[in-house]
Structure 1
Amino acid sequence: MSRHVLHDWRPEEPGFWASTGQRIARRNLWISIPNLLLAFSIWMLWSTAATRLNMVGFQFSTAELFWLTALPALSGATLRIF
């Protein structure tokens, strides 16, 4: 099994936290913060750009623009389940 798969996680236990848990939590924090920043930045940028597509020559209905802005959030929420 991979060494990056958690088999034991007891963060409430002080001994486990001091020996193992804090290191794992910090690594996860340093990996997830930049990734989430990038993901939310792209999500917000796309949501803003998609609402302006009709101004640059595209012909989308209001419903189509809604789906264009909603799909990144829906796909991200669905993929987060796995």
Structure 2
Amino acid sequence: MLTFHHILFYYVGPSVYHSSSNDRAALWIASIGSVSELPTEVRSALPEELPQGPISHYFYSLTTNSFIVVVASSAAFDWQ
């Protein structure tokens, strides 16, 4: 489980999810990276001045065909 602490900013792009053509029971994250690596069209949807935080990443979901951006003070990953 990935847990973010003290979220400073988040953005979830518009979903193009179609339940009839998607049989995944959970969100399928296909790629991650720094916010500075986001495609220009996604960055243009974000505020010019994002809050500064040690965690500043994007996730791309194949399930929804959309980007998720999170800026937080810390994060923890725990296998259960």
Superposition TM-score, scaled by structure 1 size: 0.20
Larger gyration radius, structure 1 or structure 2: 1
Higher relative contact order (CA 8 A, sep 6+): 2
Larger fraction in strand: 2
Larger fraction in helix: 1
